[in-house]
Structure 1
Amino acid sequence: MCLGIPAKVLEVTDGPLPSAVVEMAGQQRSVSAMYVPELQAGDWVFIQNGFAMNVLDEEDARQSLAAIDEYNLIAHVAENAPKPRRTS
């Protein structure tokens, strides 16, 4: 199961493979910004599988985060994520 999470953009790096540093679930992470070339620091974005998928307004982002928190979805996804295979 994939869970998209709203995140606040802290920094944007342009280039052939644009990226952004976002704050998501209390952590800073680097994500690909190739799908949202208009991205700017201070924007809210929807993150899925390491990609910023679209820009959100702040109210939509906060409502989504409240729902994620209410249903404890981040912990649920982490608990049920596939475990890495062991190689010998």
Structure 2
Amino acid sequence: MTATVRPVRDSLLTAIAREFKPLRFAQEMLARASGKTPRAARNWLSGTCTPDAEALIELMASCNSIADEVNALVAERKAARERKTCPGSD
């Protein structure tokens, strides 16, 4: 991969914070959107942890901006690999 690919963790946490931190009850709303606990949401908002795959999919389903961010990360990685096929797909 090239140096132009953004770190997933940082990009994901930035997108979550941008969407939820301005809200008055941010951790509760984030927990509700992800199907996880307010404590987990607080850890994501503070940058301590990132959502697991299940929570991420729930967030993507309920928040277009987070889905767009994840899709952009996938597109960046595909471009960085110059559209090579997966070794398992041959």
Q: TM-score, normalised by structure 2?
A: 0.30
Larger relative contact order (Cα-Cα within 8 Å, sequence gap ≥ 6): 2
Q: TM-score, normalised by structure 1?
A: 0.31
Answer 1 or 2: which has greater strand percent. 1
